[in-house]
């Protein structure tokens, strides 16, 4: 096997494998080093299997409500183990797909744990590989527990998503610590599989990074579904026993005990920067532990680049994928479109789905921007009424002076799909007028986007 | 790829330019931003700068030659690119359409944030500017000609960040504070007799010799103050950096009036019973409201004073007037007067001539108004000026010509530099 390549990529997750494909497309000899399965957390223990499980949860709820639609499904029985097995198949298919793409693009895949060496080299076991042009660090991140309050992940009663994705049975009760995207999605999944779920968030709102209206809508929806939501809560102590965990939760000035069969830690992630040889290559990290990069994603060591989660927030697969494309184009001497980090869509695939791009309304207020919020509820959308997905809304924040789309927030069925119209609009600097002028098919969920744009101009039609 | 060097619109009203001097010769290496040539415009001598790195080739215009705006005067070849030496290939045809001449109301070179190339891809239609919808809108509101902005987006597209500076200018129109007048307390009785003070007596006497005996006529013109406003903001920024006091719109109006008078001496005159005294010096009387009336201290030789000097003097005189410390020499001898009630939200008014002067201008407030510019409705700062003329000295056309010059100066403050 060759030991010299133009580009060597450490880590085969979304950032790494996309970088590998683009690098090969640009005619550079490319090696990808991965210690586990190709596709990384996203494909194997993240985005992909959770979407499979969320769909199982969706079907369960759909069947429970089917009678109203004229369909008798009888008593709905769920089996998390079967759903889990299916999700594993989906992950494996995707991972194999990445393997196929590596072959197709003639990327050399090296299995093993790589350690960076000075001189643009990477050591894997006893072999040393040398990069003529660049080494890309794409080692990603992992879940972290909260050992300081007794909630170290023990993989039985205190688990992370890594374990939740392989459970054979849904636990009878589950406390989820952290109501970001991961916590919200697992609350949705386990609740549909019959688990009594308590969702605990330290910040005052669940989905704290989303627009307050999105958080409120989801909190209401979850409560209606029987998911207990405790926001602004401080988990003071966790006491794991053999088959249960007791949490001391302080909220609204009172401390209460929450006793559950298991706790799922969904608070925060840690980047994988230990033991990969950063220091001896001169690659520095920031105070928060991310790898320091310049505008061209180069680290403090020339010839070493960082992409994906290790390169800083937002820690999202699609952000890493874009960085993978951009960085390889830079290395190949092209002039890629600069990444607009303010235009990375954020999606939570719980039901109803939450998708957003740009600023929240609170951020507009903080920045003292002159804006108008245009809103349109799915309860007024014909398609949504037809499918019974009337929860949620589209909200577009329009700059008063120029009509710029400052931010857009969608809660509802298919929010994850229809946000992209606004991503395209923002990337190309369309104003609300251009969005509204595009004819939207009737009836569609996307019409709500056009209507929200119209509402921001003070001339909504369907409401 | 070669970049055409165009005769650019270096002043807002420039239609053609004379190459006064080439700083770079055919075959010289040039860097973007370097001066290629000095160009004499209708207003001044300006620098024509390189919009790309490379080698200057095909210099098609000789020193002293005048060509229309938009003509290709040379080509910058990319380093290493082979392009015939001077004269070996015909110069490319003028590429810009006549629209780039600058009467389009662009804010000009000074405020455009990133003045640079019309992307001169050979074969492409240079009159078509690639720009995002948002950038188009920002440019329109800021009055920036997109042709003069370098696009940093995909394929040279002009995007938001390329217009950020211009937008800030547009986003911060001057504010006119609303002064709140407290309700006066109603005094006892049906009326009050107040004896005439000296100043009221004088006003009564002097103005009775004006409107009655003097055959007045009035001319009104609406002036676009957008550029004057921008010039003022730029000046004040600089003055502020230097710790100087700020220039007001009134100072600009005084200066422009004085300069216009220096070109229209027929209006800078005194009616003297058996003769008319045409003044060579320009002394502007500036109406100042004081507690019990008004007085017009005089800014002498305002046509040759700098704006900063006028601003400083006007402030001193107004302060003195209000505290009644003006010396007679400071309020006599004006050759023309300016009365400004803009601060009271007066749109337009007529002022009474202060004899023996032959004219006075009455200045209304500056307001944002929708106006049609190049076939588009856009918001501009506008101001109404009304001139009162003594018909014994000034005829209609004479007054109108003066007012036209004044309007042009205010609308294009650069002209005051000439």
pLDDT digits (tens, 9 = 90+) for A102-114: 999 999 999 999 9
To the nearest whole angstrom, how far is the Cα of B181 from the nearest Cα of chain A?
A: 30
Residue B194 reports pLDDT greater than 70: no
Is A402 in the B-facing interface, judged by CB distances under 8 Å? yes
Residue B28 belongs to a domain: yes
Is B159 in the A-facing interface, judged by CB distances under 8 Å? yes
Residue B182 belongs to a domain: no
CB-CB under 8 Å, B135 with A433: no
**For the segment A132-173, what is each residue's pLDDT rounded down to a tens digit?**
999 999 999 998 877 777 788 899 999 999 999 999 999 999
To the nearest whole angstrom, how far is the Cα of A158 from the nearest Cα of chain B?
A: 48
Cα angle value B97/B133/A409 (rounded, 5°): 175
Please report the number of interchain residue pairs, chain A to chain B, with beta-carbon separation below 8 angstroms. Answer: 29
State mean pLDDT over B362-378: 82
Residue B185 belongs to a domain: no
What is the per-residue pLDDT for A59?
97
Taking CB atoms and an 8 Å cutoff, what residues of chain A touch B1? none
What is the per-residue pLDDT for A349?
98
**End-to-end Cα separation, chain B, in angstroms:** 40
Q: Name the E strands within A28-107.
A: 30-34
CB-CB under 8 Å, A337 with B133: no
Looking at the structure, tell me whether residues B273 and B157 fall in a common domain: no
Please state, in angstroms and rounded to a whole number, the distance separating the CA atoms of residues B136 and B97.
19
DSSP conformation class of B119? P
Taking CB atoms and an 8 Å cutoff, what residues of chain B touch A404? 134, 160
Looking at the structure, tell me whether residues B275 and B375 fall in a common domain: yes
Taking CB atoms and an 8 Å cutoff, what residues of chain B touch A431? 133-134, 137
Taking CB atoms and an 8 Å cutoff, what residues of chain B touch A433? 133
What is the per-residue pLDDT for B189?
57
- In chain B, which residue's Cα lies nearest the Cα of A406? B134
CB-CB under 8 Å, B160 with A404: yes
State mean pLDDT over B113-132: 51
A348 contacts A405 by C-beta, under 8 angstroms: no
State which H helix or E strand residue A263 sits in.
strand A262-265
Residue B188 belongs to a domain: no
Looking at the structure, tell me whether residues B205 and B109 fall in a common domain: no
Instruction: Output the CA–CA distances (angstroms, integers) from residue A142 to A33, A145, A160, A309, B257, in the order listed.
Output: 18, 10, 10, 10, 73
The enclosing domain of B151 has a CATH number of 4.10.320.10
Residue B179 reports pLDDT greater than 50: no
Please state, in angstroms and rounded to a whole number, the distance separating the CA atoms of residues B396 and B271.
16
Q: In what order do the strands lie in the sheet with B359-373?
A: B216-224, B376-390, B359-373, B336-340, B284-286, B298-299
Query: Would you say the pTM of this structure is higher than 0.80?
Result: no
Taking CB atoms and an 8 Å cutoff, what residues of chain B touch A429? 132-135, 153, 159-160
Q: Is the peptide bond before A443 cis (omega within 30 degrees of 0)?
A: yes
A289 contacts A276 by C-beta, under 8 angstroms: no
B264 in active site: no
Residue B282 belongs to a domain: yes
Looking at the structure, tell me whether residues B158 and B221 fall in a common domain: no
State mean pLDDT over B209-218: 80
What is the per-residue pLDDT for B85?
40
Domain boundary among B77, B101, B125: B101
CB-CB under 8 Å, B160 with A403: no
Looking at the structure, tell me whether residues B134 and B79 fall in a common domain: no
Looking at the structure, tell me whether residues B84 and B138 fall in a common domain: no
Q: Which residues of chain A have pLDDT under 70?
A: 1
Looking at the structure, tell me whether residues B79 and B112 fall in a common domain: no
Catalytic residue among B23, B264, B283, B391: B391
Could you say which of A401, A429, A433 has the minimum Cβ distance to residue B132?
A429
Residue B225 belongs to a domain: yes
A111-115, A230-234, B52-56, B277-281: which has the highest mean pLDDT?
A111-115
What is the per-residue pLDDT for B271?
84
CB-CB under 8 Å, A401 with B133: no
Taking CB atoms and an 8 Å cutoff, what residues of chain B touch A336? none
The enclosing domain of B37 has a CATH number of 2.40.50.100
Which of A347, A362, A413 lies closest to A385 in space, CA to CA? A413
CB-CB under 8 Å, B132 with A430: yes
Per cent of chain B over pLDDT 90 is 21
Looking at the structure, tell me whether residues B149 and B212 fall in a common domain: no
State mean pLDDT over B362-387: 85
Q: Is A49 exposed, middle or buried (0-12, 13-18, 19+ CB in 10 A)?
A: buried
Number of structural domains found in chain B: 3
Neighbours of A203 (CB within 10 A): 15
Could you say which of B133, B159, B167 has the minimum Cβ distance to residue A431?
B133
Taking CB atoms and an 8 Å cutoff, what residues of chain B touch A403? 134, 137
Q: Name the E strands within B212-274.
A: 216-224, 269-272
Looking at the structure, tell me whether residues B294 and B404 fall in a common domain: yes
CB-CB under 8 Å, A430 with B137: no
Residue B174 reports pLDDT greater than 50: no
State mean pLDDT over B171-197: 49
Here the tokens at position A2 are 């060759």
Residue B181 belongs to a domain: no
Domain boundary among B43, B67, B101: B101
Instruction: Output the CA–CA distances (angstroms, integers) from residue A170 to A159, A164, A184, A189, B102, in the order listed.
Output: 13, 9, 16, 9, 72
Looking at the structure, tell me whether residues B306 and B394 fall in a common domain: yes
State mean pLDDT over B175-194: 49
Q: Is A248 exposed, middle or buried (0-12, 13-18, 19+ CB in 10 A)?
A: middle
Looking at the structure, tell me whether residues B315 and B233 fall in a common domain: yes
Instruction: Give the residue, B197 or A71, on which the prediction is more confident.
Output: A71
CB-CB under 8 Å, B134 with A429: yes
Looking at the structure, tell me whether residues B160 and B273 fall in a common domain: no
A216 contacts A229 by C-beta, under 8 angstroms: no
Domain boundary among B101, B131, B161: B101
Neighbours of A47 (CB within 10 A): 22
Residue B184 belongs to a domain: no
Full set of structural domains in chain A with CATH: 4-142+270-341 (3.50.50.60), 147-267 (3.50.50.60), 352-456 (3.30.390.30)
Place of tokens 């004057």: B228
Residue B144 reports pLDDT greater than 80: no
**For the segment A268-281, what is each residue's pLDDT rounded down to a tens digit?**
788 999 999 999 99
Per the structure, the complete domain to which residue B28 belongs is given by 1-101
Is A371 in the B-facing interface, judged by CB distances under 8 Å? no
Catalytic residue among A55, A351, A414, A442: A442
């Amino acid at each position: 096997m060759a030991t010299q390549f133009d580009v060597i990529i450490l880590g085969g997750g979304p950032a790494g494998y996309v970088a590998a494909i683009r690098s090969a497309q640009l005619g550079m000899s490319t090696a990808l080093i991965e210690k586990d399965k190709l596709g990384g957390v996203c494909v194997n223990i993240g985005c992909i299997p959770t979407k499979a499980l969320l769909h199982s949860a969706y079907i369960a709820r759909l069947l429970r409500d089917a009678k109203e639609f004229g369909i008798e499904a009888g008593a709905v029985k769920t089996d998390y183990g079967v759903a889990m097995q299916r999700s594993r198949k989906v992950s494996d298919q995707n991972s194999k797909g990445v393997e196929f793409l590596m072959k197709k693009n003639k990327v050399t895949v090296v299995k093993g744990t790589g350690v960076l060496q000075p001189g643009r080299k990477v050591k894997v076991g006893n072999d040393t590989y040398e990069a003529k042009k660049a080494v890309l660090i794409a080692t990603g991140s992992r879940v972290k527990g909260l050992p300081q309050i007794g909630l170290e992940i023990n993989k039985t009663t205190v688990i992370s998503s890594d374990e939740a994705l392989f459970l054979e049975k849904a636990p009878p009760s589950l406390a989820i610590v952290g109501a970001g995207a991961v916590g919200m999605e697992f609350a949705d999944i386990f609740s549909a599989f019959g688990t009594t779920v308590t969702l605990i968030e330290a910040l005052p709102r669940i989905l704290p990074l989303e627009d307050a209206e999105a958080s409120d809508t989801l909190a209401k929806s979850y409560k209606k579904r029987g998911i207990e939501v405790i926001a602004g809560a401080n988990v003071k102590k966790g006491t794991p026993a053999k088959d249960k965990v007791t949490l001391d939760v302080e909220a609204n000035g009172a401390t209460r005990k929450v006793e559950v069969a298991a706790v799922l830690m969904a608070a925060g992630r840690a980047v994988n920067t230990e033991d990969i040889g950063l220091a001896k290559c001169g690659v520095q990290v920031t105070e928060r532990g991310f790898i320091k990069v310049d505008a061209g994603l180069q680290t403090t060591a020339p010839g070493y680049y960082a992409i994906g989660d290790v390169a800083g927030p937002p820690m999202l697969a699609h952000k890493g994928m874009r960085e993978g494309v951009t960085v390889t184009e830079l290395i190949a001497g092209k002039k890629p479109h600069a990444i607009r980090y303010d235009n990375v869509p954020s999606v939570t695939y719980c039901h109803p789905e939450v998708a957003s791009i740009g600023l929240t309304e609170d951020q507009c207020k903080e920045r003292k921007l002159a804006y108008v919020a245009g809103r349109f509820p799915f309860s007024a959308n014909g398609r949504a009424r037809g499918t019974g997905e009337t929860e949620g809304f589209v909200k577009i924040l329009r700059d008063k002076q120029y009509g710029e789309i400052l931010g857009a927030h969608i809660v509802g069925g298919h929010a994850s799909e229809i946000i992209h119209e606004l991503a395209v609009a923002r990337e190309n600097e369309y104003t609300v007028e251009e969005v509204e002028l595009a004819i939207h098919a009737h009836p569609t969920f996307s019409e709500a986007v056009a209507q929200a744009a119209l509402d921001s101009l003070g001339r909504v039609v369907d409401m | 790829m070669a970049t055409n060097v165009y005769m650019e619109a270096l002043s807002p009203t420039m239609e053609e330019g004379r190459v006064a001097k080439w700083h770079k010769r055919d075959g010289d290496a040039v860097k973007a931003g370097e001066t290629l040539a000095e160009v004499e415009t209708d207003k001044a001598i300006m620098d024509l700068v390189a919009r790309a790195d490379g080698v200057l080739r095909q210099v098609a215009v000789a020193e002293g030659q005048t060509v229309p705006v938009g003509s290709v005067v040379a080509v910058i070849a990319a380093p290493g690119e082979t392009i015939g030496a001077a004269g070996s290939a015909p110069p490319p045809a003028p590429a810009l359409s006549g629209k780039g001449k600058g009467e389009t109301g662009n804010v000009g070179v000074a405020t455009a944030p990133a003045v640079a190339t019309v992307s001169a891809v050979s074969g492409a239609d240079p009159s078509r500017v690639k720009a995002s919808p948002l950038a188009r809108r920002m440019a329109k509101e800021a009055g920036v000609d997109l042709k003069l902005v370098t696009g940093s987006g995909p394929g040279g597209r002009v995007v938001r960040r390329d217009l950020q500076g211009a937008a800030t200018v547009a986003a911060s129109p001057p504010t006119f504070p609303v002064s709140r007048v407290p309700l006066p307390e109603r005094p006892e009785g049906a009326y009050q007799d107040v004896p005439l003070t000296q100043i009221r007596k004088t006003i009564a006497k002097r103005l009775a010799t004006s409107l009655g005996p003097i055959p007045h006529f009035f001319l009104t013109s609406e002036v676009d103050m957008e550029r004057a406003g921008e010039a003022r903001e730029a000046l004040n920024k600089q003055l502020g950096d230097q710790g100087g006091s700020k220039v007001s719109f009134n100072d600009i109006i005084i200066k422009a009036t004085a300069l216009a008078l220096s070109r229209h001496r027929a209006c800078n005159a005194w009616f003297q019973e058996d003769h008319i005294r045409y003044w060579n010096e320009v002394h502007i009387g500036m109406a100042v409201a004081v507690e019990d009336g008004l007085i017009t201290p005089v800014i002498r030789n305002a046509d040759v004073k700098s704006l900063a000097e006028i601003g400083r003097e006007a402030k001193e005189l107004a302060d003195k007037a209000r505290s009644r410390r003006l010396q007679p020499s400071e309020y006599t001898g004006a050759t023309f007067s300016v009365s400004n009630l803009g601060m009271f939200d007066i749109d337009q008014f007529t002022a009474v001539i202060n004899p023996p002067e032959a004219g006075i201008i009455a200045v209304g407030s500056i307001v944002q108004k929708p106006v049609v510019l190049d076939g588009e409705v856009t918001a501009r700062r506008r101001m109404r000026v009304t001139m009162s003329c003594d018909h014994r000295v000034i005829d209609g056309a004479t007054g109108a010509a003066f007012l036209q010059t004044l309007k042009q100066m205010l609308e294009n403050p650069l002209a005051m530099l000439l």
